[in-house]
């Protein structure tokens, strides 16, 4: 009986931790206040990344929305072999930020976050802010220019410099949509950020 109770207890503990590792997307993706109210630890992470890298919360959040819709383990769709059989994925992009393997490795080396995971919101929002910070420095884009920050995020710093996006009308349309969402997020945060700030202690 004693051993059975230990086994049951271990199963319950394992279930608790495994369940905690699964993160579902917020219910209201177009409202920043609702997102942070539902995911009460995300605001702290988003503000920390914004403060560290000098990029507005609304911009980083809008880019994450476009890349993954806040799905923690998001991956590109598989290609089709003979129009039927699933083939390899189009890229190694993964997680909230849809960062590729090599870009994520670069981030871990340069940012000091050696143990960062792409399916962790804290690490992913920091990555997006860090990448935008590099764009500001390297491509001379303003930190508030979500439109061009997203184009550089999608095309890479080199591609953005070469203007590869100029022949991609669909991408320009997406960048405009991300910019509009960032503006909307910013207006929403202006109404709730004081409340969000007062709900947790900021030690830095």
pLDDT digits (tens, 9 = 90+) for 14-43: 444 443 445 799 999 999 999 999 998 999
pLDDT band at 199 (very low <50, low <70, confident <90, very high): confident
Cβ pair 166, 148 in contact under 8 A: no
pLDDT digits (tens, 9 = 90+) for 88-128: 446 789 999 999 999 999 999 999 989 999 999 999 999 99
How far is Cα 37 from Cα 84, in angstroms, rounded to an integer?
42
Residues 51-66: what's their mean pLDDT?
Answer: 98
Query: Residue 81 has what pLDDT?
Result: 44
DSSP helix/strand/coil, 79: strand
Alpha carbon separation from 51 to 45, 56, 109, 125 (Å, rounded) = 10, 8, 20, 12
Tokens of 90: 């189009």
Residues 61-87: what's their mean pLDDT?
Answer: 75
pLDDT band at 86 (very low <50, low <70, confident <90, very high): low
In angstroms, the first-to-last Cα distance of the chain is 51
0.75 surpassed by pTM: yes
Query: Residue 166 has what pLDDT?
Result: 97
How far is Cα 166 from Cα 37, in angstroms, rounded to an integer?
38
DSSP 164-201: GGGG-HHHHHHHHHHHHHHHHHHHHHHHHHHHHHHTS-
pLDDT digits (tens, 9 = 90+) for 151-190: 999 999 999 999 999 999 999 999 999 999 999 999 999 9
Query: Residue 92 has what pLDDT?
Result: 86
How far is Cα 66 from Cα 6, in angstroms, rounded to an integer?
45
How far is Cα 176 from Cα 149, in angstroms, rounded to an integer?
11
pLDDT band at 75 (very low <50, low <70, confident <90, very high): confident
């Amino acid at each position: 009986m004693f051993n059975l109770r230990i086994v049951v207890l271990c199963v319950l503990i394992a279930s608790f931790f495994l369940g905690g590792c699964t993160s579902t997307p917020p219910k209201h993706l177009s409202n920043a206040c609702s997102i942070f109210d539902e995911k009460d630890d995300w605001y702290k992470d988003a503000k920390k990344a914004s403060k560290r890298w000098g990029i507005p919360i609304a911009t980083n959040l809008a880019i994450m929305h476009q890349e993954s819709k806040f799905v923690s383990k998001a991956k590109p769709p598989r290609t089709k072999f003979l129009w039927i059989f699933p083939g390899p994925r189009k890229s190694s992009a993964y997680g909230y930020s849809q960062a590729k393997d090599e870009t994520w490795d670069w981030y871990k080396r340069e940012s000091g976050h050696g143990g960062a995971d792409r399916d962790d919101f804290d690490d992913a929002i920091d990555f997006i802010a860090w990448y935008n910070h590099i764009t500001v420095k390297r491509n001379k884009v303003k930190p508030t220019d979500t439109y061009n920050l997203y184009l550089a995020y999608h095309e890479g710093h080199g591609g953005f410099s070469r203007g590869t996006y100029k022949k991609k009308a669909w991408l320009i349309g997406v960048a405009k949509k991300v910019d509009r969402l960032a503006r909307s997020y910013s207006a929403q945060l202006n109404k709730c950020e004081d409340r969000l700030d007062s709900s947790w202690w900021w030690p830095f």
